Amino acid sequence: MPLDPSVRDRIAAAVSDGFDAQIAFTRDFIRFPSRRGEEHAVQDFVFRALRDRGYTMERFAMERSAIERHPGGGAFSPEHSEAPIVVGIHRPRQETGRSLILQAHVDVVPEGPASMWSHPPFEPAIEGDWLYGRGGADMKAGHAANIFALDALRRAGLQPAATVYVQSVVEEESTGNGALMTHLRGYRADAALIPEPENEMLVRANIGVIWFHIEVRGVPVHVQRMGAGSNAIDAAYRVIGELRRLEAEWNERATAQPHFRDVPHPVNLNIGKIAGGDWASSVPCWCKVDCRISIVPGTSAQAAMREVADRVAAFARADGFLANIPPTVTFNGFQAEGYVLEEGSEAEAVLARAHQAATGGALESFTALSYLDARVYALFDQIPTLCYGPIGENLHGFDERVSLASLRRVTTAIALFIAEWCGVEAAG
């Protein structure tokens, strides 16, 4: 049932009253350089923030064997994070409403050379409406919005009348294993909301992602004796060429998927990193290429991985140099399938009302082309999973930033969503 207008106004006012504190908290949050594997301190920061608010706390590690047995588990590599998952649990006095997972990740992607930034990447700065900092938009602002939306309800004298799990995960940027671990741990709810920086729109469909690296080997010789095609770096370029042809085929195939038919080039192969050779005058005997490719919903990660491996193997058999020492393909991160948020769920209707009240506009949806943890809840819990968050720019780039006006609107929308989805009771 839609919220009473007076309750709605009270909650919106409470979000505004807490917004300065929310910005200060978000800035403290950004100061943690929580790159992959370095999220221990920031998870302690989140743990304390939730514990001090009185939530029941749980903190747990990844269970590697359970993750590796699961079809949605990403491969473990030496870079895999060992930081814990943190969950704060709100339990109502009377469980009368629908339960909810509020999820966010704390890991951030590498910031690159600090000289490319206008402000140091982990020293948050505000210019006009923008809050700058690595991981601010993606997605510490949204993470804090979850916490402060619940705070706002309390400030308005209310609390959710259903169980709410505030989940803080790692590994979103590389395997999705943090979100998967919350599922394997047994957390379940009637809906999930993840405030990734989606420009105040709802993700209707999302690609899946696979990570792999290709290693080419050869015999090092002096350049004087270099025969045509016996260079591991040259050979790696030929393999990349074949992967580009595969990418084109997958884009052609993606037109059969209704949500991707009108998206230009939905499947993207990224050659993310390349290393090889030892010396300018020696023919390189090794080359390693790190790749990321997307898959559209309905294609399983396993099928796509098989196709990549088969394709590289077939290409190598027909190549004079590679046929002798075939390259290896190693899947070393994401093995994640895409998902579609089916239209017509009650959760979406509630979010649309909350969004309308907070922004004055209708809720729009779109197809997203980067990995989202939402797939865990959509595919394995099979619950409506709403990926919706503030306006952000330069995600994964330099001068990443989030709009503060948008953050306030989205925090209001989240608070109103929680109130209507979970129902409310007097704050305890």
Nearer to Zn ion, 34 or 99 (CB): 34
Nearer to Zn ion, 138 or 234 (CB): 138
Nearest approach, Cβ of residue 382 and Zn ion (Å): 22
Residue 368 tokens, joined = 């997203």
Nearest approach, Cβ of residue 105 and Zn ion (Å): 6
Residue 303 tokens, joined = 């099928």
Nearest approach, Cβ of residue 107 and Zn ion (Å): 8
Nearer to Zn ion, 166 or 232 (CB): 166
Q: Rounded to whole angstroms, how far apart are CA atoms 165 and 57?
A: 10
- What phi-psi label fits residue 344: left (phi over 0), alpha (psi between -120 and 50 degrees) or beta? left
Nearest approach, Cβ of residue 203 and Zn ion (Å): 12
Q: Rounded to whole angstroms, how far apart are CA atoms 57 and 43?
A: 12
Nearer to Zn ion, 243 or 372 (CB): 372
For residues 193-212, which are near Zn ion according to CB under 5 A?
A: 196
289 forms part of the interface with Zn ion (CB under 5 A): no
Contacts of 294 (CB under 8 A, 6+ apart): 207, 208, 209, 210, 266, 267, 268, 338, 369, 371
For residues 351-370, which are near Zn ion according to CB under 5 A?
A: none
Binding residue count for Zn ion, defined by CB under 5 A: 3
Here's the x/- map for Zn ion, 167-196, by CB under 5 A: it reads as: -----------------------------x
To the nearest 10°, report the CA torsion of 355, 390, 61, 191.
Answer: 20
For residues 122-161, which are near Zn ion according to CB under 5 A?
A: 138-139
- What phi-psi label fits residue 38: left (phi over 0), alpha (psi between -120 and 50 degrees) or beta? alpha
Nearest approach, Cβ of residue 108 and Zn ion (Å): 9
Nearer to Zn ion, 196 or 200 (CB): 196
Q: Rounded to whole angstroms, how far apart are CA atoms 29 and 214?
A: 36
Nearer to Zn ion, 74 or 218 (CB): 74
Give the nearest residue (CB) to Zn ion.
138
- How far from chain centre, in Å, is Cα 194? 9
* DSSP assignments along 172-219, one per residue: TTTT-HHHHHHHHHT---S-EEE----TT-EEEEE-EEEEEEEEEE--
Nearest approach, Cβ of residue 389 and Zn ion (Å): 9
Closest CA to 212 of 118, 72, 309: 309
Q: Side chain identity at 207, as an amino acid letter?
A: I
Nearer to Zn ion, 84 or 135 (CB): 135
Nearest approach, Cβ of residue 98 and Zn ion (Å): 25
Q: List interacting residues with Zn ion (CB under 5 A).
A: 138-139, 196
